[in-house]
Amino acid sequence: MPSIPVDILLLILDHVDKADLLTICLLNKICCSCSQGVLYRDIKNFTVRKGKQLCRTLTRSTHLARRVRSFDTSYNDRLDQLCQRPKMSKSFQNMIFLRSLSVCSFTDAFSFLSRCTFKLVSLFCFRYNFEPLHQFFFNQPSLTNVQLGTRVDDDSCIEFGATLLPNLTRVSTRFPLLAQIIPNRPVNEVNCIGCEDIEESVDLIFFTRSTTPLKKIIINYAYLYPKSGQLLASIFPSLTHLYIDAGQFVSDIQVIVRGPDLFRI
């Protein structure tokens, strides 16, 4: 009986559940290797108990750690604390091909990540202290997609610097930080999270300082009001997708408009 080509086997394994993948690992070396690649490729939604077992496995078995492409603990702060333990943090150093990382909070305890050699493409962080995150960015020039939630340390001035995140194309964060992140970077997709207290019209000119045309934006209506359509069209001349967050009182309303005449409606 002819064997299944490896590329076809990999396509099949993408549609197999975890229990069957474990069974397939027992068939032969090729099936085991391919199944492990699927099992460990995207790691998320694990409990604290299973997280301890997982980190021990990835610490002891470098060949499995090298299979990991995305690692997600963003839904549970206890999992973040688990990963910060010295014995567990070794697992991150073994994940040299990690490309996507999601954490609930990024604090000084994550300084061990500076010793890791992986090159991320995507980073999500729900809460963060600016300085350790800022230092981490220096080691991750390959990042193209960054999502940042709430800053939990002091409100001191933030300076990103022109050489930080040189390949950033997608950013999701609160409005005040966008003015630091967008200029001099090839940002073309922006998600402005929430809405700050606004007493007067805000300046949107920093959006024009991206090195590539901005194509897609999600933004609260308060930042656009009461600016004229002509002014907005000059700030966003290449916009193709506009998602307007209508605010807390009508949070189920979202306006989606496409096309070059975006601000003429």
CB-based contact 213:238 (threshold 8 Å): yes
Question: Measuring CA to CA, how many Å separate 76 from each of 39, 51, 235, 243?
Answer: 21, 11, 39, 29
Backbone angles phi, psi at 78, to 5 degrees: -65, -35
Extents of the domains making up the chain: 1-39, 42-167, 185-265
For residue 128, the cross-strand partners are: 106, 151
CB-based contact 102:145 (threshold 8 Å): no
Read off the amino acid at residue 252.
D
Q: For the residues of 183-211, what is the DSSP string, one character each?
A: TTS---EEEEES----SSPPP-GGGGGSS
Helices 29-39 and 6-13 cross at an angle (nearest 10°) of 40
pLDDT (tens digit per residue) in 224-255 = 888 888 888 889 999 888 888 876 543 433 44
CB-based contact 99:119 (threshold 8 Å): yes
Read off the amino acid at residue 210.
S
pLDDT (tens digit per residue) in 256-265 = 444 445 554 4
pLDDT (tens digit per residue) in 142-191 = 999 999 988 887 656 677 777 899 999 999 999 888 988 999 999 999 99
